[in-house]
Structures are given as C-alpha cells and as structure tokens.
Amino acid sequence: MKTFIIKANDENQRLDKFLTKAVPKLPKNLLYKYLRLKRIKVNSKKSDISYRLKTEDIIELYINDEFFDENSNKDFLLAPSVVDVVFEDDNILLCNKKVGLCVHEDNDNAVDTLINRCLHYLYDKGEYNPDDELSFAPSLCNRIDRNTSGIVIVAKNAESLRILNEKIKNREVKKYYLCVVSGLVDPPKATLTHFLLRSENDSTVRIFDKPTTETKTIVTTYQLLKKSRKNSLLEVELKTGRTHQIRAHMAYIHHPIIGDGKYGLNRVNKEYNEKHQLLCSYKLRFEFDDCYHQLGYLDSQEFKLNDVWFAREFDEKF
C-alpha cells in the first residue's frame, strides 16, 4: 500500500488529475477501475473521480509497487542553475530569458531549458525538491520563442500558478515588447486586428483580413518610439497571445522584424548581420480586476528590463 497526504500545492485538484501526475505509470483504465473497486480510497472511503482534494486528505492506494517510481526525476540538475532574476518573492520568479534558450524541452529533448534552469536554481535555494512534492513543480506561466528574449513568469506554488493562468487568460497581465522593424512605420500608433491561421506542417502562421472557421483573432497595438532613415523602434503590446503573433503581424503590414529568419526579409537581415529577431518581451504590468487573492499585492506593479541592447544601440546601428 502507498499513502499520499495532500498538501497545499495539491489541493483543489480533481482526484483523477492528481493521480495521473502523482502515479504516471498507472494506466488511466486501471486508475478508474481501482477507484471503482475501492483499491484507491480517500480518507478510507470510496471516492468519485471528480472529487476535489483538500489539504490533509489521505489517499490510500492498494496497487502493485511496479506503478510507483521511487526515484524522483532530477534531470533538471543537469541544466545550469544560473538565472537572470528580474524580480522574486515567495510566490513568483520573473526571469530574463536569453536568445537561443528554449523555455521547455523542444524536439531535440535538450535538458538545458529555461524551466530546468529555474528548477535547478530553486532547488539550490532549498525552495523546491521533487522528493517533497506529490504532483506540483514550479511552472512557467507564459512562453516566448527560442530566439526572442525577455521576461518569463514562473509560479513557485500551485495557488500562484492557478491565479496567474486565470489572470493571463483574462488579459489582466499586460505584456509589452520592444522590436526593430524594417521601414518607417506610419501611422506612429495603431491597433491591428486580423486573423491568424497556424500551419502544423512547417510551424508557421498566416495572417488574413477576414475570419474563417479555422482562424483565430489577433489584436496587436504598436507605438513608434524612434525612427532612423530606414527603420523603426517600436513598443508593442499584445492584446491576444497567439503563436508568432508579433512577428507575423508586423510582417503582414510590410514592416517585418529585423533578424527574423521566418517572416523577415533576408536582404535586410544580411545587411545588419542579424540572425535572431530583434524582439524582446521587456515589460510586464499586473492590472488585476480583483485583489482578494494570494497575489493581490502585485496589482498595479510594473517590471521591466532597463537595458535591451538593440534599443540602446538603435541610433548608431539601425
């Protein structure tokens, strides 16, 4: 028999969702069967799969040892533990992801990812140990492309993750980017609304003026900060968060981001010798509709990167 005692990071989950994470080797068909046969009990009683777990609940599993992995996965320790911290407290970690680093494991299954670096960093600080957790691990709340730099939010506990996911979904976390685009943008400020179709074959997206049954609405606001003879430095706010949204949207209005090998202009990229898009998620602002929750203290707070190299060098290089 195996016993789990539910802690704060595991509460409010459905029983079946928790067991899927806590006992990943147990097939779902057996999970449901064992619940019916009372070989899995909650507080010594038969429980429904949709039961919401509470702190101090006791789950008893009368199942074979082969389904339990006694060796916690610590592959993240193979990644570096160095993290560029923008802000940190007991609930969240804001870090500056560098160009070239994936946020999660990609198709190459590389261990050196942003999330693994953050887990290693928190492990070294004594704030996270998989041996002490049943189903939770600190998690990223937003993602940016491998070749985009900037601020990524990490939730350190389950309640913060739940709140941030909800707030991001409700657009209560404002995300701002800096980018250098080809050409002189006019008008200097605008909100763009178009429709995006994602292609699974080549990992690209296409933009359309009119919606179809397969497209998703995208809304992007930009403001001109500086201009040179040929290019523009913009601040962009994401109103929606779709794959490659800024890169594809700016290309669609004929102002592709310099260095973008997928949606940009090769001749322009070569002219400036830029192999990565000049795009950085440089500022976050929390604007919560309510503050009666664990992260209410973050309301109205703004966090930003004060030194984005291509903005600093815009006048002399672009």
pLDDT tens string 272-295: 999 999 999 999 999 999 989 999
For residues 176-186, average pLDDT: 96
For residues 307-313, average pLDDT: 94
Residue 250 has which token pair?
């700016």
Cα-based angle 72, 112, 205 (whole degrees, multiple of 5) = 115
Whether the predicted pLDDT of 299 surpasses 90: yes
Q: What distance in Å separates the CA atoms of residue 301 and residue 286, rounded to the nearest whole number?
A: 6
> Is residue 186 within a helix (H) or strand (E), and if so which, with residue range?
none
Share of the chain above pLDDT 90, in %: 69
Q: What distance in Å separates the CA atoms of residue 236 and residue 281, rounded to the nearest whole number?
A: 9
Whether the predicted pLDDT of 202 surpasses 80: no
Q: Please tell me the predicted confidence (pLDDT) of residue 131.
A: 84
Q: Enter the pTM of the model.
A: 0.87
For residues 74-96, average pLDDT: 94
Q: What distance in Å separates the CA atoms of residue 37 and residue 89, rounded to the nearest whole number?
A: 44
129-138, 218-227, 252-261: range with lowest mean pLDDT: 129-138
Q: What does the mean pLDDT of the chain come to?
A: 91
Whether the predicted pLDDT of 241 surpasses 90: no
Q: Please tell me the predicted confidence (pLDDT) of residue 87.
A: 97
Whether the predicted pLDDT of 73 surpasses 90: no
Q: What distance in Å separates the CA atoms of residue 73 and residue 28, rounded to the nearest whole number?
A: 21
CB-based contacts of 106: which residues, under 8 Å, 6+ apart?
113, 146
Whether the predicted pLDDT of 122 surpasses 90: yes
Cα-based angle 242, 246, 247 (whole degrees, multiple of 5) = 110
Whether the predicted pLDDT of 107 surpasses 70: no
Q: Please tell me the predicted confidence (pLDDT) of residue 70.
A: 63
Q: Which long-range contacts link 48-51 to residues 24+ away (Cβ below 8 Å)?
A: 48/15, 49/14, 49/15, 49/16, 50/14, 50/15, 50/16, 51/14, 51/15
Q: Please tell me the predicted confidence (pLDDT) of residue 232.
A: 96
Whether the predicted pLDDT of 200 surpasses 80: no
25-29, 164-168, 189-193, 243-247: range with lowest mean pLDDT: 25-29
